[in-house]
């Protein structure tokens, strides 16, 4: 039961962007059923919770704007509500000791206690995975030490900004989170998580440009209709080289239209974003690329030698699947056709690739 309560804390803290104190301050009934299908979490804020005289409210203050909840969070809250009294704290310290005679209090679990519970949960989950022979699900040792509570928000922002695409379930989940934190509620009430998202997005952009700058400096080629713009953006990398630590630094990068370069490993290309040329936007007016809607004929596409090598590697994998005796005929034909398309893209890159030594004007 301790591990169940800890798992619920991890889900809520990780998939809402709440601060740890805000999660611990949630009460039963904080996430009522929503007729519209969009669940909202009503809680308290503790940061800057001062009255008119400057006195800090130890119990926090009710937030004017709720959080947007996605299904895993709603399920975790419902599990917690089944453990605690009506309108009680979801992480009531007395209830979560799970003694023989249940009691309840007005105090939540403490940070230090949760730290040890999270470490114990990770050890338990790893032991269970080994017992079941599922070594791939063992929680690896963290090179940075124990998992601090404040790291959940940073990790969430990192994953959303870096656009995980290797697992469909994760891509869908983080897509839901990106939608949630961009909604009207979040836009007015989540300055903290928005700043983290800006910082992580700027860092991802800086990493992409730094890698591109280094590749071009070592003689790598680049092709595509946006190749020249990518070279120009990479040339500005030294101007912001180093760690991006503040929100102002992040906004300086994200607000520079010459630096809007996004790597898209799922589509094996790079997007050098220009809103007027983008084919990923038809009816909406977002001022950011939709990397799940990349179109082969878009004028914002660029590819490096690395992308071309990945195209060939993927083509070989598809050809191997197509040649398998177990592949049905129609599927084999589709796989072979897709492999041919990928090889054609790689050949086009080889023919059209340019270098930084060449004129860029």
Q: Looking at residue 282, what is its pLDDT? A: 57
Which residues, in sequence order, are CB contacts of 237 under 8 Å at separation 6+? Answer: 206, 209, 210, 212, 213
Instruction: Report the C-alpha gap between 81 and 217 in whole angstroms.
Output: 58
DSSP 204-236: HHHHHHHHHHHHHHTT--EESTTHHHHHHHHHT
Instruction: Report the C-alpha gap between 163 and 332 in whole angstroms.
Output: 30
Q: Counting Cβ atoms within 10 Å, is residue 256 exposed (0-12), middle (13-18) or buried (19+)?
A: middle
Contact 77, 30 (CB under 8 A): yes
Would you give the DSSP letter of residue 136? G
Sign of CA dihedral 52, 54, 60, 64: positive
Tokens representing residue 20 in the block? 């740890």
Angle at 294 between CA 289 and CA 299, to 5 degrees: 80
The phi, psi pair for 34, rounded to 5°, reads: -115, 125
Tokens representing residue 281 in the block? 């936007």
Would you give the DSSP letter of residue 106? S
Instruction: Report the C-alpha gap between 49 and 81 in whole angstroms.
Output: 26
Would you give the DSSP letter of residue 131? H
Q: Looking at residue 46, what is its pLDDT? A: 64
Q: Are strands 222-223 and 301-304 parallel, antiparallel or unpaired?
A: antiparallel
Instruction: Report the C-alpha gap between 3 and 13 in whole angstroms.
Output: 15
Per-residue pLDDT 10s for the chain (361 aa) are: 999 999 999 999 999 888 898 899 899 999 988 766 678 898 877 666 666 666 656 666 777 778 888 889 999 999 999 999 888 899 999 899 877 666 667 788 999 999 999 999 999 999 999 999 999 999 988 888 888 888 888 888 888 888 665 566 666 677 777 777 765 555 444 556 788 888 888 888 888 999 999 999 999 999 999 999 999 999 887 666 567 888 888 888 888 888 889 888 888 999 999 888 888 865 555 567 777 778 888 999 999 999 999 999 999 999 999 998 888 889 999 999 999 999 999 999 999 999 876 554 4
Tokens representing residue 144 in the block? 């940075």
Would you give the DSSP letter of residue 26? -
Q: Which of 272, 270, 293 is nearest to 281 (CA)?
A: 293
Instruction: Report the C-alpha gap between 2 and 120 in whole angstroms.
Output: 9
Would you give the DSSP letter of residue 147? -
């Amino acid at each position: 039961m301790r591990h169940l309560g800890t798992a619920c804390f991890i889900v809520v803290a990780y998939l809402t962007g709440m601060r740890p104190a805000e999660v611990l301050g949630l009460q039963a009934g904080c996430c009522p059923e929503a007729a519209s299908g969009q669940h909202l979490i009503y809680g308290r804020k503790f940061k800057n919770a001062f009255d008119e005289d400057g006195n800090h409210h130890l119990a926090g203050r009710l937030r004017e704007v709720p959080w947007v909840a996605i299904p895993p969070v709603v399920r975790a809250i419902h599990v917690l509500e089944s453990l605690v009294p009506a309108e009680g704290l979801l992480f009531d310290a007395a209830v979560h000791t799970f003694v023989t005679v249940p009691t309840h209090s007005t105090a939540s679990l403490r940070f230090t206690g949760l730290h040890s519970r999270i470490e114990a949960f990770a050890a338990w989950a790893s032991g269970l995975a080994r017992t079941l022979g599922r070594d791939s699900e063992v929680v690896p040792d963290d090179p940075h030490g124990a998992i601090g509570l404040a790291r959940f928000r940073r990790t969430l922002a990192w994953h959303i900004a870096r656009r995980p695409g290797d697992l469909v379930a994760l891509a869908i989940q983080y897509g839901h989170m990106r939608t949630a934190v961009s909604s009207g509620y979040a836009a007015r009430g989540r300055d903290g998580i928005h700043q983290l998202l800006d910082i992580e997005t700027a860092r991802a952009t800086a990493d992409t440009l730094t890698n591109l700058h280094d590749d071009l400096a070592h003689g790598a080629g680049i092709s595509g209709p946006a190749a020249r713009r990518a070279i120009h953006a990479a040339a500005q990398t030294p101007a912001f080289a180093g760690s991006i630590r503040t929100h102002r630094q992040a906004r300086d990068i994200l607000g520079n239209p010459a630096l809007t370069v996004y790597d898209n490993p799922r589509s094996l290309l790079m997007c050098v974003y220009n809103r007027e040329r983008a084919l990923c936007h038809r009816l909406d007016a977002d001022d950011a690329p939709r990397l799940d809607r990349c179109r082969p004929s878009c004028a914002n596409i660029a590819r490096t030698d690395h992308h071309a090598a990945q195209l060939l590697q993927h083509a070989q994998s598809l050809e191997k699947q197509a040649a398998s005796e177990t592949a049905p005929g129609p599927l084999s034909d589709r796989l072979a056709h897709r492999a041919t398309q990928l090889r054609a893209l790689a050949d086009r890159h080889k023919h059209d690739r340019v270098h930084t030594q060449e004129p860029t004007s």
